[in-house]
Structure 1
Amino acid sequence: MTRVVFLLVPQLHLLDLAGPAQVFSTAADLGHGYEIGYVAEQEDVPSAQGVTLRADTSWPALTADDLVVVPGWRSPTLGGSGALTPDTLQRLAAHHAAGGTVASVCSGADALGRAGLLDGRRCTTHHEVQDELAARYPRASVVPDVLYVVDDRVVTSAGIASGIDLALHLVAVRHGPSAAARIARSMVVYARRNGDERQASAMLRHRAHLVDAVHRVQDLIDTRFTNKLSLSDLSTAAGVSERTLTRRFTAATGLTPLRYQQELRLERAEHLISHGATSESAALAVGFQDARMLRRLRARA
């Protein structure tokens, strides 16, 4: 039996907690032997989403096989937020010193930093606070724009939904990739993502604009990027000429429609390759006729 203890901080984000908790709960249902507990410095813990949670104020006895997870909390900055007593921070440090694993989701990395667990280690957090984390803990090496980082039993993740990826990774390490895949299927989530995948997908990185016609074309490309799409078809969907679409699309996203489609294909192909696919099979799966174009795009990237 491995114990997974979540340390709850006031104003914690529910998904930071619920995502990993669901992974380990599902793993327990599948017979992998996890016992989940929740501790806090007060019995009633308000969440950022308005639901009050109940936790134990006494820590269970932990062994080196056990995991402590600190979910993130709502705050525009890390400084002055996520209040924890020195005794609680010392418990985090002591568990790691005894051979245990300590993990964080989103701003929970700041609690690990205050416990001294980020010094001399690679780590990450949500992209909105990663610069502040680096400034607060200059002895840490903050890795930007990745989903999670593992360094000497200190595991940090980007936040919100990436906590699911972190938990699935830990299950895969202990029980194998097939166990993690089975849990992902049970949870109806996308296949486990690698830690070094970017926090924002290509579909999200180029959506920070207010041009309705371009959004409509992006919606079409997003759902059919593995198909051959002509500029004529895209301009018809947008209700503008091909020249106008190219001009507006490039101004809004920094890419032509073709380059945007290629970026989606490349991102999906990289994911398939990272999970064991060959370049040839990945290229065919995303719509290329062969692997030559994929190799050129990967070399350019």
Structure 2
Amino acid sequence: MAFVVYDGVTLLDVTGPLEVLHQANLAHQTQAELYEVVLVGKERGVVRAGSGVELAGVVPAAEVGAVGTVVVPGADHLVGGVPDEVLEVTAALAEAAVRVASVCSGAFVLAQLGMLDGRRAATHWRHAGALARQYPKVRVEPDALHVADGRYVTSAGISAGIDLTLAMVEGDHGSDLARAVARELVVFMQRPGGQSQFSTAMATPPARTDQLRAIAESVVADPAADHSLSTLAAAAAVSTRHLTRLFQSEFSTTPGRWVERVRLDRAQQLLLDGHSITTAARLSGLGSDETLRRAFARQLGTTPTEYRRRFQAAKQ
């Protein structure tokens, strides 16, 4: 497996996936390594990551034979333009590769080479708009953790490279090995690729008022409780009209829509944990199967059954 490295590369985009592969080799417990890794750059020697840490042992692409997988890590400067040397190294390695992957803004490299034309792709949420604007032929999925389309696999930023690599290990050698690696790294096994990069609680800015902050925390802590507008207003000791104004002012939505989104987050996790649609609807506070289906269709454009089917392999 070859990692394309260059000056300014984001260190964790490289070392996160590398550690997953290292742990997979250790967990396999055989003399033959499952993954042989090489760092490939324009020239032999050392590259300096954006954090200042130096990566040694870099070899030029001309000295690397055919590789099964190419991984292109990201860096913020790729958004403003991909250096020719990065394009050349990636193109040389990818020509005969079975799988080509990118982490974070590494997707800009694949897009510049035309590899993602007509394909679905993910990148860091901060760069998704730029990727879509610069490369209109790419079907950018701005909220996905990682996306596979043909031989190309792209992921969101930073820690999502770990999720991406766990998914590759699972695809290569089965869920048992991937689960063992995830346990060793003390990470979730593994966040499904289409899962949002953010939960509603994470995406919502902190409330400026104590009243609204307390309300938001109570909903996230127990989505299935009674969170009707009148109940929330009573808990905050304000009128329903004033509470609605607070939500619009600080969260740019209504109390009802915000509560539904929090409940949908919980329902998604319950489904991924193996619960039935009926149980997920009840425990999340959405209530009925039909209410859950409507929320999935409205917010996610899919059904609970399809959502669970699509990601259940990551939970086995």
Smaller-chain TM-score bracket: 0.7 to 0.9
The aligned residue for residue 154 of structure 2 is 156
Do the aligned partners of residues 136 and 280 (structure 1) sit closer, same or farther apart at CA in structure 2, a change above 3 Å counting?
same
- What is the TM-score when the length of structure 2 is the normalising length? 0.77
Residue 23 of structure 2 corresponds to residue 26 of structure 1:
yes
The aligned residue for residue 132 of structure 1 is 130
The percentage of counterpart residues that share the same residue type is 35
Q: Which runs of 5+ in 1 are unaligned?
A: none
User: Residues of 2 paired with 1:58 and 1:228: CA distance?
Assistant: 62
User: Residues of 2 paired with 1:207 and 1:143: CA distance?
Assistant: 22
User: Residues of 2 paired with 1:254 and 1:175: CA distance?
Assistant: 45
The aligned residue for residue 72 of structure 2 is 70
- Aligned length in residues: 292
SS at structure 2 position matched to 1:103: strand
Q: Which has the higher helix share?
A: 2
> Larger deviation: 258-267 or 168-177?
258-267
User: Residues of 2 paired with 1:85 and 1:295: CA distance?
Assistant: 45
SS at structure 2 position matched to 1:35: coil
SS at structure 2 position matched to 1:56: strand
Do the aligned partners of residues 236 and 176 (structure 1) sit closer, same or farther apart at CA in structure 2, a change above 3 Å counting?
farther
User: Residues of 2 paired with 1:17 and 1:242: CA distance?
Assistant: 52
Q: Alpha-carbon deviation of 1:71?
A: 0.9
The aligned residue for residue 107 of structure 1 is 105
8 A contact 2:47–2:58 mirrored in 1? no
State the Cα deviation string for residues 7-51 of structure 1 (Å, max 9, x = none). 112222222223222222222221072223322235332222232
The aligned residue for residue 281 of structure 1 is 279
Letter in 2 for 1:78: V
8 A contact 1:148–1:162 mirrored in 2? yes
Letter in 1 for 2:92: R
User: Residues of 1 paired with 2:81 and 2:243: CA distance?
Assistant: 47
Q: In angstroms, what is the RMSD of aligned CA positions?
A: 3.2
- What is the TM-score when the length of structure 1 is the normalising length? 0.80
State the Cα deviation string for residues 99-154 of structure 1 (Å, max 9, x = none). x2110011111222233322343322223223332343344333332222212211
Q: Alpha-carbon deviation of 1:210?
A: 4.4
8 A contact 1:124–1:157 mirrored in 2? yes
Aligned partner of 2:219 among 198, 204, 221: 221
Query: Counterparts in 2 of 1:33-112, with a 5 A limit?
Result: 33-42=34-43, 43-59=45-61, 61-63=64-66, 66-75=68-77, 78-82=79-83, 84=85, 87-96=88-97, 100-112=98-110
